[in-house]
Structure formats: C-alpha cells, structure tokens
Amino acid sequence: MNQNGKVEFNFSENLPTRHRTGGIWRSIFLAATLTGIVFLSILLLKIVNDSFGYIVVEYGIHPDALAVDGVPIWELPKEDLVLILQANVTPGRFRTLVKELPMEQRSLEDILAIINREVVEPKVAQTWTLFESIFQKQEIETYAAENYPEGELYFKAWINWDFITSPQSSDPLYAGIRTAILGSLWLMGVAILFALPMGLGAAIYLEEFASKNWLNGLIRTNINNLAGVPSIIYGILGLAVFVRALEPITSGAVSGNGVSSATLNGRTILSGGLTLGLLILPIIIINAQEALRAVPSSLREASYGVGATKWQTVWSHVLPSAIPGIMTGSILAFSRAFGETAPLVVIGASTYIVYDPTSVFSKFTALPIQIYQWTSRPQDEFRNLAAAAIIVLLLLLLTMNAVAIFVRNRYSRRV
C-alpha cells in the first residue's frame, strides 16, 4: 500500500516474458504457414526437374551408319528404305513384315518407324535431371564418354508436342499420352452427362421443395456422408455393379455397339465414367445447394407474388441467378474427378491402349492411370515420362480451375 492508500500491483514483472513467448509462437505459426508454400514449391520443382535433362541413347545400329552417300535415312526415298530394311533384318522377319502388309502399300513414315524399331533400336541407357544437366554438364559429358562410348548424349525435353500427340508405347522414347488424354476426356463427358442433371435435381429438391421431415433429413445426412466415403469404395462399387452386374449393357453387347466382340467386357468408358459420376455426385449436390441457398428469398417471394408456381419460380428466377455458383462448384467437382485414380484402377482400366477411344464402349486408359503406371516402373526413364504427364495433368486442372474462377468473377456481380 502506498501513501494514497491504493494497492499497487506489479504488472510489468512477467510482461516481457509473456511478450517474448507470444513473439516466439507467432514465428512458429508463421513458419508452419510457410511450409505449405515450401512443400508446393519443392513438389513443382521436383516435377519440372524430372521432365527435362540429358539422356544417353544407345543404338543397335547408329542411324548415321545407315545413311546412303551421306544422305540421312529420313531424307531417303521409300525404295532405298526398303533395301536398308531388307539388308538389316533376318529374311524370315522381312517375310513376316511383308506378309502383314506388302511394302508397296506401306507409307514412308511406317517404313521409317519399322527401321527405327527393328534396325536402329534406340535404347535409353541413362537419364539425368534438369539441375544435374545445368550444373554438372561437364561431369555428365565425361561420364557418358567413358561409360557409353557408342551412345549419343543429348538434352531431351520429355514433355513436348510429340509426347502429347503420340499414342502409348512400351518404348519410353516414343511413348505418348494421346490415348490417355482422350480417355480422360471421354470419362469426363460420361460423368458430366450423368452427374450434373442428377446432382442439380437433387440440390433443387433439397433446397426448394423438400419439407423438414425425417426422410429429407436422412437424405441430407446421407449426402454429407457419401462425400466422405473413400474413392476406392466407389471403385469397388463400380466394379461390382457396372463392370459385372450390368456387363451386358456397359460392354455394349445389348445395344450391339461393342467395339470388338472378342474382348467384350464391362471395363469400358461407360463403366468408368458412371463410377466417377457417382463419386462426384455428392460434391456437386453440396456445392449446388450452397449456390441455391445464396439466392435471396425476396426473388422467390416476388415470383410467387405475381402468381408463379413453385417450379416456374425455380426455373425462371432461382436457377438463372444461381447458375454461376452452380457452374463454379461443378467445375471444381469435375477437376476432382479428372485427377481421380484409385476407382479407375479398381474397375480395371486397361493400361496399354494404343488406339483412340471411339465410343463409350471402348476400352480406355486415363491420364492419372498412365502416371501411376509409369511411376510404378523401376526404370528412371519412365519416371521422366510420369513427371512429364504430371505437368500435362496439372496444367489441365489449372485451366479448369481458372475457368471456374473466371465464371465466379465474371457473373457474380449480377447475383
């Protein structure tokens, strides 16, 4: 007690310590937050790092050795190429090739491809990453000269136009993702046709029509729960229902559209697309419900006020103003489906598909499946292919998300 009779507390005694603790924890929180950015940067760097770099290729016969009078083989006329082919494969093999299709009927590119495959036989001996290629160029060159004196060392961008437009191949030098991209797009088409109307219908029912009773409560709870079911469960549901139980329909046997009767089974684009559709249905419903809920009720009251029925109100007033929100949510759901791998592996997407899918009854592969397949191979060159395919996948997803954000910003003003 001091002379004024007031009690004096010493607040400042532990204040510095408390402030220091506060400062320390603040830095810890900030550091944790930055780890997210760090992870993302490392992930992207790692993928880019694997998509470019030096490779050493070894040849069965070096293409230069096949040149006639100094003219490289890819500039030679067809007749010379046939002679080269005949001279360099066994007579039996040549006869087989002729039996498949006479040389006169084959195109120039075809014969070049055969020569490349059977005579030149390029093989990837070793690959390096982008950083190694930039910072240890000297060492790589010395190493390659010592260990692969016959091989050719050059810088390869694994992601290039040929990679995107070539069909699949077991040879990493010529493998592409064309069939995988087309397969993914077909899957998306089926999933959209199925899940968008169903999801929108369910959302409209729940938000505009459903009264508060136990059944609608059950539906709501159930949708939220379905959104959390692991995707692999949808995969085995698709396997049991679409691939097996509905095989006559999903294989195209009933409608007579099966692509080839010999290999008819339910592992088609239709099965895969419907499975992905089921997977994203709850997400679409939840997003669409939120968009509908954001429409002010005054709009509905005004419509009822002039005598519109419930459905007229929903169709002409609620839906138009909710469309941007619904579209944004749906695009995000589809970008989720685009990267989904597990359900497709489970329903048995084929991994080696050389031909473009032609209908919903085609066998298919998809971009994420292709990435999974290449990642699981132990050889380095397939890892490079996986990295290049990941770049394509991420760019496609980025585009979808950008469209969603654009739609949100462009139309949200009117709501």
Partner 1 sequence: MMEDHSVNNLPAINLKRRSRPKESLIKGFLFFCGFFSIFITLAIVYELAKEALLFFQDPDVTLWGFLTGLTWQPKLGEFGVIPLVTATLLTTAIAMMVAIPLGLAVAIYLSEYASERVRGTIKPVMEVLAGIPTVVYGFFALTFITPVLRSIFGSDVVQIYNTASAGLAMGILILPLIASMTEDALSAVPRSLREAGYSLGATKLEVAVKIVVPAAISGISAAIILGISRAIGETMIVAIAAGAGPNLTLNPFEAAETMTGYMVRISGGDLSYDSIDYNSIFAIGLLLFIVTFILNLISQRIVLHFREVYE
Q: Does 264 bind partner 1 (CB under 8 A)?
A: no
Q: Does 285 bind partner 1 (CB under 8 A)?
A: yes
**367 in Cβ contact with 393 (< 8 Å):** yes
Angle between helices 178-204 and 367-376 (to 10 degrees): 130
Q: Does 386 bind partner 1 (CB under 8 A)?
A: yes
**345 in Cβ contact with 360 (< 8 Å):** no
- Looking at the Cβ atoms of 317 and 336, the one nearer to partner 1 is 336
What distance in Å separates the CA atoms of residue 201 and residue 288, rounded to the nearest whole number? 10
Indicate the length of the chain as a whole number. 415
Stretch that binds partner 1, among 24-32, 64-72, 151-159, 293-301 (CB under 8 A): 24-32
> Using CB under 8 A, which of 134, 153, 173, 198 touches partner 1?
198
What distance in Å separates the CA atoms of residue 312 and residue 220, rounded to the nearest whole number? 24
- Looking at the Cβ atoms of 163 and 372, the one nearer to partner 1 is 372
Stretch that binds partner 1, among 112-120, 143-151, 239-247, 320-328 (CB under 8 A): 239-247
Draw the binding track, 323-352, toward partner 1 (x: CB under 8 A; -: no contact).
Answer: ------------xx-xxxxx--xxxx----
Q: Does 235 bind partner 1 (CB under 8 A)?
A: yes
Q: Does 185 bind partner 1 (CB under 8 A)?
A: no
The edge-to-edge listing of strands for the beta sheet with 123-127 is 123-127, 52-58, 152-157
> Using CB under 8 A, which of 59, 158, 364, 372 touches partner 1?
372
DSSP-H helix ranges across 205-356: 214-226, 231-238, 247-250, 269-293, 297-305, 310-313, 319-338, 342-347
- Looking at the Cβ atoms of 67 and 241, the one nearer to partner 1 is 241
Q: Does 305 bind partner 1 (CB under 8 A)?
A: no
What distance in Å separates the CA atoms of residue 22 and residue 7, rounded to the nearest whole number? 28
Q: Does 368 bind partner 1 (CB under 8 A)?
A: yes
Q: How many CA atoms lie within 13 A of 294 on its CB side?
A: 16
Number of residues that bind partner 1 (CB under 8 A): 88
Q: Does 218 bind partner 1 (CB under 8 A)?
A: yes
Contacts of 345 (CB under 8 A, 6+ apart): 235, 369, 372
Min CB(145)–partner 1 separation in Å = 27
Draw the binding track, 396-415, toward partner 1 (x: CB under 8 A; -: no contact).
Answer: -x---x--------------
Q: Does 239 bind partner 1 (CB under 8 A)?
A: yes
What are the structure tokens assigned to 189, written together?
């088409």
